Amino acid sequence: MAGPRKTKGATAPRAGRAAGLSQLGRTVKAPASPEEALIETVDNPHPGALYLVRFVAPEFTSLCPITGQPDFAHLVIDYAPAKKIIESKSLKLFLGSFRNHGAFHEACTLEIARRLREAARPRWLRIGGYWYPRGGIPIDVFYQTGAPPDGLWLPDQDVPPYRGRG
């Protein structure tokens, strides 16, 4: 079996790290930007099984690239793993790296999808970015890699249309 995989943005782990992961179980400095963030993966314990993994980040933040004002989103990330699964601490650090990152809602949502595709190479991935309104308009951004695999159970993302969303 291959070991953990890392995507661009950080140095290689030191020898002797548990399971080859450089962040899990350790104190690490928060990445200053999404480009510096390291998304780590581990071998899928059930690579032949078709199943869904869901990550929910109800307090995602980034900055408006024009005004510098904070933007808030409720992210729902669903993926069907292939050979690798995404290590959750590295995902949390990656998502947190957007906190001081200026980009439009669409750019943030699609950059997250791109990096997760690169890191884990899932069978299928979708992301729902439910952005809270600024200027009175909520902007929701959705992406998926294609049609979901036959037989994959897809629960609703369960984020209501904006009415004070919360």
List the catalytic residue out of 64, 78, 108, 156: 64
DSSP tag of 146: S
Active site annotation includes 78: no
Cα–Cα separations (whole angstroms), residue 23 to 3, 43, 92, 145, 161: 15, 16, 11, 28, 36
Active site annotation includes 108: no
List the catalytic residue out of 43, 71, 140, 150: 71
Token pair of 138 as six digits: 């909520």
Query: Do the bridges between strand 124-131 and strand 140-144 make them parallel or antiparallel, or are there none, so unpaired?
Result: antiparallel
Annotated catalytic residues are: 64, 71
